Structure formats: structure tokens, C-alpha cells
Homo-oligomer: A and B are copies of this chain.
Amino acid sequence: MSDSLKLYSYYRSSASYRVRLALAYKELNYDYLAVHLLNNGGEQNSPDYVAANPMRQVPTLVDGDLVLSQSLAIYEYLDEKYPNTKRLLPTDTAGRAKVREFCEIINAGIQPLQNLKTLQTLDEYFKPLAAVKMRWMHYWMARGYSALEEKLRMTSGTYSFGNTLTAADLFLYAQIFSSNRFQFSIETYPNMKRVYENIAKLEILEKAHPNQQIDAE
């Protein structure tokens, strides 16, 4: 186990939440370093933080000399660096591929269209009505969730891929926390709803919840 893990996080960021879920699932301890994305002009814009993360995003994991951003890259790293913790990715090549695909649909296909900075730039460049902006966000969630639901229809059991928890579940869980904030219902996605409710039962994940963080408001 590592005694040197540090996580730069914002309690409400879904990418930060993904990484907190992975660390909780693996039972890895870490120091929590809060980065408030709105206060003080956005603490992610401070020179010290930009040196660690030139994209000015959260999360960033620090493990000794390694400073690493991007949630899925962090998942891969944690599986490789701490092989005696619970695995996030399956051990077989095809299974790993499908879990990665599922995570990327969220990571690259859904979340970038609803993250805070994206929404801020929509306001700045296009000055949309709030209701139109929300419809646009819901369009992207509906598009993505329909694809995920179709995947889950083929692969899910208790969890997204059969009955073993994987990275796909943690990405899904953090994503649904985010879409709940934007009043997007998952009622019409029965497999997603079932899997979500099953993940919610896992007590080991509770300390990763946004409301449990020291910077929660």
C-alpha cells in the first residue's frame, strides 16, 4: 500500500468522483487536496496547480514522483501499480477492451459536453437561454445513455459487466450523480437504473461521495 498518495479534487466534479470511487474500492488511503473550481477565480488557475495540471482540470493524482491527470489513465495506473488491490479492469483482453470502451463513452462521449468549463464557454460565446442550454445538455446525455443502455442490455448482471464490479460501474455511477444534478432522469433506462441501484448498496464506496468531502458545500 502507498502512504504517499495525494488527490487534487473538487467534490462535485464527476471525474474527481470517479477517482475517489476507485481509491475507495481499492481501499487506498490518500490526502485530499481541495481545488475549488469557482472560488478565487477558479483555484485550478493558480500557478502551482497549472504546473501540476496544465489543462487546469481536476482530478490530479500524485504518487511519489508521478503527477497524473485524466481519470481513466489514473484507473489503469492504479491497477498496474497496486496489483494486490481489487482490480478495476478484467484480466482478459476482450473483457478489458469492452470495459474501456464503456468508460470512454462516458469519458469522451458524454461528460466533455456537460463539464463546468464547457458550459461556461457556451455562455460566453453563444449566450444561450438557460433552458436551451439545458436541452442541449440533455440531448447529449440521452444520446450517450441510450448507447450505454444498449451495451448494458447485452452485458449487465448485478453490475455493468456480469456480476463483478469494474471500472465501468464506477464511471457510470459518477456520471449518474452528475446527470441527476442536471435533472436528467434514468427512469427510461431500466438496465442502467438496476445497475446504479446495485452499486449504491456498496458501503465501501460511501466515503467517495461528493457530500462526504471536506470541500462539500
Q: In terms of DSSP, what is the predominant structure of the interface of chain A?
A: helix
- Whether the Cβ atoms of A76 and B54 lie closer than 8 Å is no
Q: Once the chains are docked, how many angstroms separate the CA of A94 from the CA of B131? A: 44
**Copies in the assembly, this chain:** 2
Chain B residues in 8 Å Cβ range of A194? none
Q: Is A183 in the interface zone, CB < 8 Å from B?
A: no
Cα-based distance from A107 to B71 in the complex (angstroms): 12
Tell me which residues across on chain B come within 8 A of A94, comparing CB atoms: 65-66, 77
**B101 engages A121 (CB within 8 Å):** no
Give, as a whole number of angstroms, the nearest-CB distance from A162 to chain B.
17
* Residues A72 and B132 in contact in the complex (CB < 8 Å), given A54-B150, A55-B109: no
Chain B residue contacts of A27, Cβ below 8 A: none
Q: Which of A117-150 contact B (CB under 8 A)?
A: 118, 121-122, 125-126, 128, 132-133, 135-136, 139-140, 143-144, 146-147, 150
Instruction: Add 7 more A-B contacts to A55-B144, A108-B111, A109-B112 (CB < 8 A).
Output: A55-B109, A56-B143, A107-B107, A108-B108, A121-B136, A125-B139, A126-B128
